[in-house]
A = this chain, B = another copy of it.
């Protein structure tokens, strides 16, 4: 069966697209000879590189069923997936996610970069934000359905701390190392 004769296919930029699988959160597509997964109902995602005035990097960890264990990550969230928050600016959504997950409010949230996480597999792109002027305003931990632990690690000890966590069986999202690049370049001395 060719893509064009498949009733589930649709034209996208002149290139036939076929839905291979549809879930509640993810959709698997074939586009020409390529396959990719896209998120359903989210406009994008934001991740935050948040460093306290005394040079501690704020990280989270949470169980991730895809990996079968805990993953250490930058605080992050989907944009546009919360009812009533559609269309809000990226900085606003990012600041809200930071407070929900870590309990920190940021005086300043600045956009650093945007880019794909795994361009051979998904069209997902994540915007990285720099959060500074941090004040603890709550416990963090995320929504009731989430199971998030907050970590505050002195910036110069992060690599050793991550190595110890890996030895203990945790995973480290590679975006944490991207965060370390920006944190070392921008944190107050």
Query: Could you tell me if A37 and B28 are in contact, using CB atoms closer than 8 angstroms?
Result: yes
Query: Could you tell me if B173 and A116 are in contact, using CB atoms closer than 8 angstroms?
Result: yes
CA distance A125 to B13 in the complex (A): 31
Chain B CB within 8 A of A68 CB: yes
Query: Could you tell me if A116 and B177 are in contact, using CB atoms closer than 8 angstroms?
Result: no
State the oligomeric state as a number of copies. 2
Partner of A125 from the list B35, B123, B171 (CB cut-off 8 Å) is B171
Partner of A66 from the list B13, B34, B113, B173 (CB cut-off 8 Å) is B34
List the B residue with the shortest CB-CB distance to A178. B177
Chain B CB within 8 A of A64 CB: yes
CA distance A124 to B66 in the complex (A): 9
CA distance A19 to B32 in the complex (A): 22
Give per-residue flags for A45-70: 1 if the beta carbon is below 8 A from chain B beta carbons, else 0: 00000000000000000001111100
Show 16 A/B contacts (Cβ-Cβ < 8 Å), sorted by A.
A20-B23, A28-B28, A28-B37, A34-B66, A39-B121, A67-B116, A67-B123, A67-B125, A115-B177, A117-B117, A121-B124, A126-B174, A174-B174, A177-B177, A181-B181, A184-B184
